[in-house]
Structure 1
Amino acid sequence: MNKLALITGASSGIGRAYADRFAADGYDLIVVGRRGDRLEQIVAARPEVNVRPVVADLSTDAGVDAVAQLCATEPLTVLVNNAGVAHYMPLADLSAEKARELAHIKVVAPTMLTRAAVVGMQKRGKGTIINVSGMIAFSGPVPTSLMPRRAIYAGGLAFAVTMSQTLNAELEGTGVRVQVVCPGVVATEFHERQGMDLSQIPRMSAEDVVTASLRGMELGEVVVAPGVEDAGLLATVFAAELAAFSGQSPELASRYQKS
């Protein structure tokens, strides 16, 4: 039986780059996206492997449930949660429809697909889950003067980071590994579909993001930041988080006590 990878958001950008890389490595593919014509292009381009296109809208419960059923019943070697939508705007300007779409695609879908896939992976004693996040996950402390606010988008990416770290620890010893990939600005259609012209900004290629992801897996990295040269920066962030977590007490901190 060939190795099998299911990739969401596979019709372009990072998802397409994962599809091409896994196909080149001999994986059969289940490619998920909203645009069936783009998925059929992957089928035509990769005749050496079995590519199954699945048109699904992960902003809906029906779309999530349909793909989750595949994750639960297919013998997946790899699950790549890559589907994305930006909706870059302050929360007060974000419509209820767009907020729901963003939360579904970046939080609900990865949660439900991972939940569905992980049971079978544990039973088989092997598997890899890759969640595509972004460096905006670490942007919470940035002042408004330096970055426009995008609270729900940033929160969704931060969710992917913490979920991936915690789940990887939870699955220790099972043969199932979890990784989260946090690229910066990538040269894809992603921003163009939001009406943003970033053509003059230096951007990483989707192929380089995938290269970093797979090399990071070899290095044992749970959090992969393709554009961060000094890996010690991430280690410092996570050490500070653990220090804060360990520094709590049942006693009220003195700064909150009335003098």
Structure 2
Amino acid sequence: MNMLALVTGASSGIGRAFTRRLAGDGHDVIAVARRAERLEEVAAGFPGGRVRPFAADLATGEGVDAVARMCAAEPLDLLVNNAGVAHYMPLAELPEAKAREVVGVKVAAPTMLARAAVPGMVTRGGGTIVNVAGMLAFGGPDPAAQMGRAVYTGALAHLVAMSQTLAAELAGTGVRVQALCPGVVATEFHERQGMDLGGTPRMSAEDVVTACLRGLELGEVVCAPGVEDERLLRAVFDADLAAFGAQSPRLATRYVSRPGGPVPGRAGNGS
């Protein structure tokens, strides 16, 4: 059955792999990215208008609005929020423009595009939204893994939490939601950050797409292509739910001050 998909970040990496896989399977794809010439190259491989290029910069409000209007107007079966940008540097050194770009592309854009696409999907009784996050969303407790990536990691964690919550919200509507969390992938992404990962084992973008599509068949809300033991993911989410369910309106005892205890802001007890 032919379907219509919209893929952001479609000119390279995972987005290009999604576009090629879907178009190669006979589906129609609206390919969105900043670089029009790269989009035209992708579209040229699929004559007959199978791939429709649409140039837009999702770091800008105008770009997000233009693509959101398309998400609302087109009868989309699949929305892949894949566009990405990462500026790896300590928060205190991160320029305001770059911080806004990360949040715009990885938080605001996926949120607004999903918001635009969902009503039509619900009305039609089906559809799928894939939010491409990453395994760094689970790496917060490891400072070594997150050095210089506080904003980027927070954005990925947002996508995971939003996808889980939205999937529950849309249960019974026929609309599925997945957070796709690859690890290190062999794309241009890290090269643009000035990182040489030539000696690091990396998954192919094509394998990431394969995992996503199979994960949807399996009903996975969070798809981690490189995690062999799925019980590890379930353990993470079970722990989250356990902590959430264990909360109480009473102050936890570890926060109750003891007489003579340390005063906030002082190294000791007034010595």
Into which bin does the TM-score normalised by the smaller protein fall?
A: over 0.9
| 2:138–2:157 contact (8 Å) kept in structure 1 | yes
Residue 7 of structure 1 corresponds to which residue in structure 2?
Answer: 7
Take 2:252 and 2:38, find their aligned partners in 1: how far apart are those partners? Answer: 56
1:191-243 deviation per Cα after TM superposition (whole angstroms, max 9, x unaligned): 11111111111000000000000000111111000001110000000000000
Which residue number corresponds to residue 261 of structure 2?
none
What residue is the counterpart of 2:204 in the other structure?
Answer: 205
The answer as to whether partners of 1:181 and 1:223 remain within 8 angstroms in 2 is yes
Paired position in structure 1 for 2:108 = 108
Q: Which residue number in structure 1 is paired with residue 262 of structure 2?
A: none
Q: Sequence identity, in percent?
A: 67
Instruction: Give runs of aligned pairs for residues 118-133 of structure 1, distance below 5 A.
Output: 118-133=118-133
Aligned to 1:216: 215
Letter in 2 for 1:240: A
1:93 pairs with 2:120: no
- CA–CA distance in structure 2, aligned partners of residues 73 and 120 of structure 1: 8
Distance 1:52 1:21 in 2: 15
Residues 23 and 49 in structure 1, CA contact (< 8 A), matched pair in contact too: no
SS state at 1:178 partner: strand
Cα distance in 1 between the residues matched to 2:70 and 2:134: 26
8 A contact 2:146–2:153 mirrored in 1: no
How far is 1:3 from its partner? 1.1
Give the CA deviation at 1:93.
1.1
For structure 1, the residue ranges without an aligned partner over 5 or more in a row are none
What is the CA–CA distance in structure 2 between the aligned matches of 1:25 and 1:249, rounded to whole Å? 51
Matches within 5 A, 1:1-259: 2-47=2-47, 50-144=50-144, 147-259=146-258
Conserved 8 A contact 2:140-2:146: no
Distance, in Å, in 1 between the alignment partners of 2:71 and 2:2 is 16
CA contact (8 A) 1:133 1:158 kept: yes
Secondary structure of the residue that 1:88 maps to in structure 2?
coil
The structure that has the greater radius of gyration is 2
User: Matches of 1:52 and 1:143 in 2, distance apart?
Assistant: 42
Aligned mates of 1:219, 1:100 — CA distance in 2: 35
Q: What is the Cα deviation at residue 143 of structure 1?
A: 2.7
Deviation digits for residues 14-57 of structure 1 (CA, Å, limit 9, x no counterpart): 00000011112211110000111110012110125522111100
1:173, distance to aligned residue in structure 2 (A)? 0.3
Aligned-residue offset at 1:2: 3.9
CA distance in 1, matches of 2:20, 2:153: 28
Hey, which bits of structure 1, 4+ residues long, moved more than 6 A? none
Gap regions ≥5 residues in structure 2: 259-271
- Whole-Å Cα distance in 2 between the matches of residues 111 and 234 of structure 1? 24
TM-score by length of 1: 0.97
Aligned equivalents of 1:243 and 1:48: distance in 2?
52
Q: TM-score, normalised by structure 2?
A: 0.93
Offset of residue 147 of structure 1: 4.4
Deviation per CA, 1:131-164: give whole Å up to 9, x if none. Answer: 00000001110034x5423100000000000000
- Inter-partner Cα distance in structure 1 for 2:77 and 2:115: 15
Q: Secondary structure at the match of 1:110?
A: helix
8 Å contact from structure 1 (residues 27, 49) kept in 2: no
Measured on the aligned residues, the alpha-carbon RMSD in Å equals 1.1
